[in-house]
Amino acid sequence: MSKPISELLKALEREKGIHTDFKENMTYGDYLNLDDILSSQQRLSNHHDEMLFIIIHQVSELWMKLILHELTASIKSIEDGDLQPAFKMLARVSKIQSQIIQAWDVLSTLTPAEYLEFRDKLGQASGFQSYQYRLIEFALGYKSSHILKIYKNNEDVYRMLKAAYQAPSIYDVSIKALSRAGLSINPRLINRDYSKTYSGDPSVAQAWKEVYLQVDKYWELYQLAEKLVDIEDWLQQWRFRHMKTVERIIGFKTGTGGSSGVNYLRQVLDHRFFPELWDLRTQL
């Protein structure tokens, strides 16, 4: 049984070392900039549930910031030939993805009638415009020049996206790792035009097959492959939950950002980031 409140208060009083004077010292709130964070939920309507809508999206953006932090570092680590640190980072990405997926369960408590009460206040603002989500797609290898047009009015964001658009993805550096390990890779892939979405190559398929058939010899590459599969698996689950939550709340209406909504979200479910790693399951 839980302790009575009186006992808990007595236990707190016995904690003589607890700091209470912060005139000269940094507090928890100072460190986290909580005043700025907690004052950033500005509802455009008086509807109670708009707060839920804002916070879910803000929290998701914070998680995406951490995903990008980990993905960027893991890409560099793999490119430098130091795979072990990347495994920890990519495992963390998968855990973060599970948190973002669960956020859809909270948002799905918003009913269609409730959302209609403030949807018009959003104007043309939409999660479709999330530049961090686009950076994640670019880091995983899904490149679209059409998407860049959305951000031309923001020079800093556009410049950042353009750099990521032209940079090698995590799969590009993983293919380089296969080549460094002595596996035969089509040389045109090593310094290809990274702004083009990778669509597959027989040499990469054969290289991954050799990795899976000789796990002991290529243990690090085998670990890398499974980490990549984890990330794509979680991302597709996120996309599916996104689609079903949108369908649950607005049906097949056009999105506030002008996309076809559920129909668009269904289309992207068919895209694969690491095709050979999925085809391999059938071939082994």
Give the residue numbers of the binding site for heme. 242
Q: In this structure, which amino acid lies at residue 4?
A: P
CB neighbourhood size of 113 (10 A): 9
For residue 129 the two structure tokens come to 């415009």
Phi-psi region of 33 (alpha: psi -120 to 50; beta: other; left: phi over 0): left
Contact 83, 177 (CB under 8 A): yes
Give Dmax over CA atoms of the chain in angstroms. Answer: 72
Gyration radius from the chain CA atoms: 23
Spatial distance between the Cα atoms of 99 and 113, rounded to a whole number of angstroms: 27
Q: In this structure, which amino acid lies at residue 270?
A: D
In 138-150, which positions are buried (b, 16+ CB within 10 angstroms) versus exposed (e)? bbbbbbeeebbeb
Contact 220, 231 (CB under 8 A): no
Spatial distance between the Cα atoms of 55 and 233, rounded to a whole number of angstroms: 26
Binding residues: 53-57, 115, 119, 242, 256
In 79-111, which positions are buried (b, 16+ CB within 10 angstroms) versus exposed (e)? beeebeebbebbebbbebbeebbebbeebeebe
Binding residues for substrate: 53-57, 115, 119, 256
For residue 135 the two structure tokens come to 């950076």
